[in-house]
Every structure is written in C-alpha cells, then in structure tokens.
Amino acid sequence: MGINQAVVDLIPNPLVRAFAAPYVAGIGLESGVDAADRFFRERKFLSTLDVLGEELNRDEDVETAVNLYLKMAGYFSSRPHCSISVKPTGMGIHNSYEYCRDNVERVVKSAVEHRIDVTIDMEDHTLTDITLRMYRELREKYENVGTVLQSRLFRTDKDIHDLRDIPARIRLCIGIYVEPSEIAITNKAAMKRKLLEQAGKMFDYGHTVEFATHDERTIDEALALADRKGVAKERYEFQFLMGVPRGKLQRQLIADGIGVRLYVPFANEWKDASHYCKRRLANNPNMAFYILANLLRKILSPSA
C-alpha cells in the first residue's frame, strides 16, 4: 500500500527539491539532453526522456508541452541513444480522446522524421483502454511507437493476447499505481512472477520487451527466459529509473551486450519535479527508502 497522499503533500517543496536531484535531470530541455549525453558517454546507457508536468488541464499548457517534445525530437536526430516518453494526461486527454491522439501523433510523426522512438506511457487503470486504443491506431501508421503494460492488472493477459497480431515494442513493468484489489494483484512477488510469465508470451508473439524493473532476481530470471527461448538481444532491454542505484548490475548487462535504458525526467519548473517525486513517493514506499538513504549519505559525507 502506498503512503497516504495527504502525508506526502505535507513534505515542504524545498525538501523535495533537495532530494529530487538524483531522480530528475533538472530544469529545461538542455538539462535532460545533457544528462542523456553524459550517461551514454560515460556508461553507455540509453535514455528515454519525459517532460514532467502530467495531468495538464489547459489546452495552452498542452500546446507548450507538445512544442517542447517536437523540439526534443529535433535535438535527438543525432542522438540514437535517446528516445521519448509521453503521457496522455500531458497530451490533452482532459479535452478529448481525439485532441490527445492528434497531439501524440504530432510528436510521433516528428520523431519518425528524426529516427527516434516514442513510448506512450501507461498511467492508472482509468486510462488503460484509452492508451491501448491510441497505441494501436498509431502503430498501424508508425513503426517507431511503443507502449507500456503493467503486470499487476488482471486484464494484462488479455491485452497481450489482443496485441498478438502486430509486432509491438512494449515496456513491461509491475506498475507504480496502487490499484483496487478487484482489478489487480496486490502481492509484489505475484506481480513479478506474472511479469515473467507475460514476457514469455510476448516473446512467443515476436514482440520486443523492455523490462522495467529494479529487482535483480527478476532481471536474472528474465535473462534466463530470453536464453531458453533463444531470443536475440536486440529484442529486449532493461530499463531503470534515473537515480536508483544499480550500477554493478547495469555494467554487467552492458558488458554482455544487453541494452540498459534510463528513464530521464526533466521539468520546465521545479513545481513539476516536486509533483513527480511526491506522486512516486505516495504510490511507491520503496522510493522513500531510496530518498532517505540518499539524504543520509549527504549528511554523513557532505563533500561526496
């Protein structure tokens, strides 16, 4: 169960800003691009960049976000180590499905021209049908678009089956959103077992699987699964949140010729970065431990 949102909202934004640094690239597009370039130059990490500020509810704010994504696509034309992630709540779903889809298509079409991949992120269960409908409609026209499925939802087995007829690129995760027990698995171990089961089915259908997990045992089992099925390394990769310490594991994956991609969020304003951190904290208590550990390191080793 997540931490109560009311409790998280009491955390002062200056404190959130203090511990956000490892998890947010910074303010402005250049901060995200610079971080992605540094990760690739120093560690050979791939990146997917996301503009923080989801849950936009004004068309003018959506237009600003879309224009920023279009600019981002242009930046990435010479950066094949980068991709883009977008969320329906940041692309205008408050207005209508058609308005949101058209905005996402503008980004996807621009990304095609610059040879960049786009992933339509998955949010809570109220947007699952909308997201998958949008993904299928755009995938029929563009090969560079992917989406996300969450192993915790009971419906995901059927969603995978329904996508069997198209070669999909899917980020597979357990999902950060705390969903009702009527529609979702509530046990983390069961979610991870289901993720591996679903990955096997996706491999069988010929999909590309992007494993988004920090759990080392799950990663080991995913590697063994791909090996048993003879899946080429180009058809899977492992994705991690920026700032979550998994350096040794990530280095080994890269040494073995397997792609490692970081989710690199940046914001136009710090309030958006604070909102992102608070939302992740409310929905995922594990982040609290990462944050507290980071703060403790800063206190004990201020010059580090």
Q: Which residues are catalytic?
A: 121, 171
Compute how many other C-beta atoms are within 10 angstroms of the C-beta atom of residue 227: 9
Pick from 226, 163, 225, 150: nearest CA to 192:
150
Phi-psi region of 44 (alpha: psi -120 to 50; beta: other; left: phi over 0): left
Query: How many helices (H) and strands (E) would you count in the chain?
Result: 12, 8
For 196, 238, 300, the CA distances from 226, given in Å and listed in that order, are 10, 12, 42
* Backbone torsions φ then ψ of 33, nearest 5 degrees: -65, -45
Geometric angle at alpha carbon 45, from 118 and 289, rounded to 5° = 95
> What letters, b where the CB count within 10 A reaches 16 and e where it falls short, cover 232-263?
eeebbbbbbbbbeebeebbeebbeeebbbbbb
**Alpha-carbon dihedral sign for residues 40, 271, 121, 69:** negative
For 28, 29, 61, 72, 91, the CA distances from 67, given in Å and listed in that order, are 13, 11, 10, 9, 11
Strand-pairing partners, residue 86, are 120
Compute how many other C-beta atoms are within 10 angstroms of the C-beta atom of residue 76: 23
Pick from 122, 119, 117: nearest CA to 151:
122
Amino acid at 266: F
Amino acid at 116: I
Question: What is the distance between the alpha carbons of residues 284 and 178, in angstroms, rounded to a whole number?
Answer: 8
**Alpha-carbon dihedral sign for residues 139, 144, 145, 149:** positive
